């Protein structure tokens, strides 16, 4: 009995038992829990640069082999992703920073075959133990990046094109809801819409800081609402472009760039393919 117990701890016996369980179909836990597909060629590639100019070619080198079937050909596939970066800010506000920014990336073209490369036995590399070739794939010249940044002249048509219809009014309304006395004063005097602001100004002594706090005049409830005249001035006399004007052009930035996610597929004669890792390439 002692010997049996000893044998139970024998790693050889344990291994045999494990092998039996895993080699039998009815105990093949792996087969039950995984879907097994065809074995495609093994492929690896490197690209020469992770940035490419629109209209240029991307150079790459690739290695591949198959232990299952003869190689047939290779293909480069990629999709196109567009990234839009937008930023608009108003520098008239002094009590806070008003800036709306967004960066949105979305796929604009699905992944599709871009170029095909025939296979040749001659590209076998003894040192790599794989087929090896160098080649390029093209990128459309239409995918140049585009920027409209801090323009010296405002163009409302471009604003609507790049930011959407209604954006300017939304920006203006949102800003109004955040502005305080000091912001209105800075904006209205800065835009020379009034020569002085005294008629809208009242003050309260802050005993903590022993200084006066300036604000709009109080109503009968003690609140300090924006005077009707100021509200009308804001709505009627300050167009959107005045809100975003700055010392070095208008504070609006729009940038559109493209990138591609590429991989190389290597097909065998049974039309089964193996694929490389995906490479992200920025397009300028």
Partner 1 sequence: MKTITQLTQYLLIILLGYFTYGCFDNIPDIENLPSPDVNFTYEVSDDTYTLDYYVGATVKFQSISGMDGDCVWDFGDGTPTVTGKEVTHKYAAAGSFSVKLTINGLKHSTKPIMIKDIVPIMSVDSVAGGICEVLTTPVSISVELPNPENLAEEYLWLFPAGTTDEAGNPVSTSTLADPGKLKFGHVGSQTVRLQVKLAGRSLEEGKVNVQVAYNQDVPTLYYAVKGGNIMALKLATNKPAGMNIYPYDMGVSSGKHPLNILFNDASLYILDCGQQFTFVDDASGIMGDGRIMIMSKDGAKVETMLSNIGGPAFNDPFYGYIEGKYLYFTDRNTGIKTIELKDRNRIHTPAEFPFKVQNATLGYYANGWSYGAMNACFTKVDGVWYWCKTFNGNGIYRFTDGDILPTAITGGQPAPASGIALSGMSPKSLVWDSKKQMFYFSVYDTGYEGFYRCRLDQLNEIGGTKSNLAPYKILTTTGKTVTPITDTGKGEGSSGEFIGICQMALDEATGDIYFGLRSAFPNEVKSGLMRYNSSTNKIEHVIEGVEVYGVAINNGKSKLF
Which spans of this chain sit near partner 1 (rule: CB under 8 A)?
1, 3-4, 7, 13, 16-17, 19-20, 22-25, 28, 30-31, 34-38, 48-51, 53, 55, 80, 82, 85, 87, 96-97, 103, 106-110, 112-114, 138-142, 147, 149, 247-248, 253, 255, 257, 282, 284
For residue 68 the two structure tokens come to 């299952």
Q: Which is nearer to partner 1, 94 or 224 (CB)?
A: 94
E strand segments, the chain: 42-47, 51-52, 57-65, 71-90, 98-118, 124-125, 130-138, 146-149, 201-206, 211-216, 245-246, 249-250, 252-268, 273-275, 279-283
We find the least distance from the C-beta atom of residue 159 to partner 1, in angstroms, to be: 18
Q: Are the CB atoms for 88 and 251 separated by under 8 Å?
A: yes
Q: Which is nearer to partner 1, 188 or 253 (CB)?
A: 253
Q: Are the CB atoms for 147 and 258 separated by under 8 Å?
A: no
Q: Which residue has the tokens 């800036």?
A: 99
Q: Which is nearer to partner 1, 134 or 231 (CB)?
A: 134
Q: Which is nearer to partner 1, 136 or 224 (CB)?
A: 136
Q: Which residue has the tokens 């070619």?
A: 57
We find the least distance from the C-beta atom of residue 278 to partner 1, in angstroms, to be: 13
We find the least distance from the C-beta atom of residue 90 to partner 1, in angstroms, to be: 12
The residues with which 202 forms a beta bridge, in sequence order, are: 215
We find the least distance from the C-beta atom of residue 145 to partner 1, in angstroms, to be: 8
| φ, ψ of residue 238 in degrees (nearest 5) | -120, 95
Q: Which is nearer to partner 1, 233 or 243 (CB)?
A: 243
We find the least distance from the C-beta atom of residue 232 to partner 1, in angstroms, to be: 29
């Amino acid at each position: 009995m002692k010997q049996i117990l000893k044998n139970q701890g024998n790693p050889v016996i344990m291994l045999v038992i494990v092998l039996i369980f895993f080699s039998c179909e009815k105990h093949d836990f792996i087969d039950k829990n995984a879907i097994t597909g065809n074995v495609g060629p093994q492929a690896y590639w490197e690209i020469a640069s992770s940035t490419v100019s629109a209209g240029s070619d991307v150079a790459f080198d690739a290695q591949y082999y198959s232990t299952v079937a003869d190689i047939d050909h290779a293909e480069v596939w990629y999709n196109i992703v567009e990234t839009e970066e937008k930023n608009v800010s108003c520098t008239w506000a002094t009590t806070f920073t008003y800036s709306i920014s967004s960066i949105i990336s979305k796929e604009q073209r699905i992944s599709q075959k871009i170029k095909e490369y025939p296979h040749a036995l001659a590209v076998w590399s003894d040192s790599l133990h794989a087929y090896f070739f160098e080649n390029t794939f093209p990128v459309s010249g239409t995918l140049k990046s585009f920027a409209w940044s801090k323009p010296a002249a405002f163009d409302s048509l471009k604003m609507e094109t790049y930011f959407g219809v209604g954006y300017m009014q939304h920006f203006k309304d949102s800003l109004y809801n955040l502005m305080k006395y000091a912001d209105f004063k800075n904006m209205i005097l800065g835009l020379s819409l009034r020569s002085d602001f005294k008629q809208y100004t009242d003050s309260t002594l802050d005993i903590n800081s022993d200084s006066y706090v300036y604000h709009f005049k109080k109503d009968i409830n003690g609140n300090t609402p924006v005077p009707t005249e100021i509200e009308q001035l804001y709505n009627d006399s300050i167009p959107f472009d005045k809100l975003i004007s700055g010392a070095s052009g208008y504070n609006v930035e729009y940038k559109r760039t493209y990138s591609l996610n590429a991989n190389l597929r290597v097909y065998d004669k049974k039309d089964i393919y193996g694929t490389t890792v995906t490479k992200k390439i920025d397009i300028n």
